[in-house]
């Protein structure tokens, strides 16, 4: 069987529509209950067969992104056995360390391109989890309920179609610091059985009763997050705005692409230093 010489994979932004912190294990890992979807904006990873593995980082968000062994792309490549030597190119369109799983999505895309080149099976969930709690959900790449420390992924009832505006005010926040700032770590999870949502309005009404337990400590540490949420909520026909993950990226939900694009354009005009994108929810 002839193996391909090149492969490419999309690394979409991960959006935590909810993020309930429900406890902490004895090893320090926090337990989560999160509704996760993916947006049609992201990075991409290209692999070309080569004598040895290398990484180059390009794209509008590449500044400051390391191309050495600390990059999750190279750490993900090292999971494959036997090794698959390739020249890897990471095109960064998502801001780094911003609560939308950029590094984890890049690592997941790397695993996909290298297994495509080699026809190897995908590494198991336990292996990918060693690279980070978001790796399993990014490898899965579908809307799911994510629990445990990220290893329990349950399919969701059918979701309505909607658009997402992502806005990042350009501040750096430390995920460990935000978790340390939590006043309570044993919070209520989402309902055991999730409803079957009939339409966008029904879905948003349910989401409004859920939480991101990291949002308040993140705003305390980085007040720009509160300002970002305020501006998203003020956008015409924004149905719900919340922070994703540990921030600083926030999201607004819109029923259609026209309203989402208009909101994104207004934010870019008012805040040209912010990173702002509008994209549909991926199935």
- CATH for 143: 3.30.230.10
Residue 23 structural domain: 6-152
Domain termination site, one of 152, 182, 207 = 152
Domains contained in the chain, number: 2
Tens of pLDDT along the chain (283 residues) come to 688 999 999 999 999 999 999 999 999 899 999 999 999 999 999 999 999 999 999 999 999 999 999 999 999 999 999 999 999 999 999 999 899 999 999 999 999 999 999 999 999 999 999 999 999 999 999 999 999 999 999 999 999 999 999 999 999 899 999 999 998 999 999 999 999 999 999 999 999 999 999 999 999 999 999 999 999 999 999 999 999 999 999 999 999 999 999 999 999 999 999 999 999 999 9
What phi and psi values does residue 269 have, to the nearest 5 degrees?
A: -65, -45
* CATH number of the domain enclosing 220: 3.30.70.890
If asked whether residues 18 and 148 sit together in one domain, one would say yes
Same domain, 78 and 47: yes
Last residue of some domain: 123, 152, 181?
Answer: 152
User: Is the same domain home to 164 and 124?
Assistant: no
Name beta bridge partners: 164.
253, 279
Question: Please, are residues 225 and 247 in contact by the beta-carbon 8 Å criterion?
Answer: yes
Catalytic residues: 14, 134
Domain termination residue (choose one: 152, 169, 204): 152
Q: pTM for the whole thing?
A: 0.96
In a domain, 16, yes or no: yes
**How far apart (Å, rounded) are the C-alpha atoms in residues 98 and 96?**
5
């Amino acid at each position: 069987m002839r193996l391909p010489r090149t492969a490419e994979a999309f690394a979409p932004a991960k959006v935590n529509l909810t993020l309930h912190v429900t406890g902490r294990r004895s090893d320090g890992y926090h337990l989560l209950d999160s509704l996760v979807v993916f947006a049609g904006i992201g990075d991409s990873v290209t692999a070309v067969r080569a004598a040895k593995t290398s990484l180059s980082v390009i794209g509008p968000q590449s500044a400051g992104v390391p191309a050495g062994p600390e990059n999750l792309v190279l750490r993900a490549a090292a999971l494959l056995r036997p090794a698959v030597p390739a020249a890897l190119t990471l095109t960064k369109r998502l801001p780094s360390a911003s609560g939308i799983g950029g590094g984890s999505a890049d690592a997941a895309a790397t695993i996909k391109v290298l297994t495509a080149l080699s026809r190897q099976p995908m590494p198991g969930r336990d292996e990918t989890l060693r690279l980070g709690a978001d790796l399993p959900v990014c490898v899965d790449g579908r809307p799911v309920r994510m629990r445990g420390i990220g290893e329990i992924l349950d399919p969701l009832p059918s979701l309505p179609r909607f658009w997402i505006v992502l806005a990042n005010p350009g501040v750096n926040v430390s995920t460990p610091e935000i978790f340390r700032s939590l006043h309570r770590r044993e919070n209520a999870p989402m309902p055991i059985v999730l409803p079957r949502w009939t339409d966008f309005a029904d879905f948003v009404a349910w989401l409004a009763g859920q939480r991101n337990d990291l949002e308040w400590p993140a705003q305390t540490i980085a007040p720009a997050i509160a300002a970002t949420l305020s501006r998203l909520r003020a956008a015409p026909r924004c149905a719900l705005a919340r922070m994703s993950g540990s921030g600083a990226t926030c999201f607004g939900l819109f029923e259609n692409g026209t309203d989402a694009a208009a909101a994104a354009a207004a934010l870019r005009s008012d805040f040209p230093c912010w990173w702002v994108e509008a994209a549909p929810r991926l199935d």
